[in-house]
């Protein structure tokens, strides 16, 4: 594994750990008992919806990081899955989980 690849792997793994930590704290928040006050309940329901949306986003991001790590292991990392061209380095820096080059990304 090249130095560049190990740096990418470390970056992906630290992002993955951060996302998993975020998901854990979301779950803890969601599991907390709701108050009986109805105004607060309405507010909490709203918060739950936000938490749900973030939870879905976070799970998707975790899956994307894991598949990026898998591509890294397989030696396909940084290659556009659509056209097979290398994904630009600055794009990978901004979005290390990117699977498409800038031309193929929608």
**Chain residues that interact with Zn ion, rule: CB under 5 A:** 80, 82-83, 101, 104
| Cβ proximity to Zn ion, 33 vs 74, nearer residue | 74
Q: How far is the CB of 92 from Zn ion (least distance, A)?
A: 13
* Spatial separation of the C-alpha atoms in residues 59 and 53, rounded to whole Å: 10
Query: Measured in whole angstroms, how far is the alpha carbon of residue 28 from the centre of its chain?
Result: 19
Nearer to Zn ion, 7 or 102 (CB): 102
**Residue 60: CA atoms inside 13 Å, Cβ hemisphere, count?**
7
- 59: which 2 tokens? 């799970």
Minimum CB–partner distance for residue 105 and Zn ion (Å) = 8
Q: Which is nearer to Zn ion, 69 or 98 (CB)?
A: 98
Question: Which single residue is written with the structure tokens 């750990």?
Answer: 17
Instruction: Tell me the closest approach of the beta carbon of residue 99 to Zn ion, in angstroms.
Output: 9
Between 50 and 83, name the residue whose CB sits nearer to Zn ion.
83
Q: Is 33 left (phi over 0), alpha (psi -120 to 50) or beta?
A: beta
Strand partners, 18: none
Provide, rounded to whole angstroms, the least separation between the CB of residue 38 and Zn ion.
52
């Amino acid at each position: 594994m090249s130095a560049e690849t190990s740096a990418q792997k470390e970056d992906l793994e630290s992002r993955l750990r951060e996302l998993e930590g975020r998901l854990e704290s979301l779950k803890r928040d969601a599991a907390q008992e709701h108050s009986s006050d109805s105004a607060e309940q309405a507010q909490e329901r709203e918060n739950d919806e936000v938490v749900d949306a973030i939870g879905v986003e976070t799970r998707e991001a975790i899956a994307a990081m894991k598949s990026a790590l898998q591509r890294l292991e397989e030696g396909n990392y940084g290659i556009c899955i659509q056209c097979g061209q290398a994904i630009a380095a600055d794009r990978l820096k901004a979005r290390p989980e990117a699977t498409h080059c800038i031309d193929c990304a929608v």
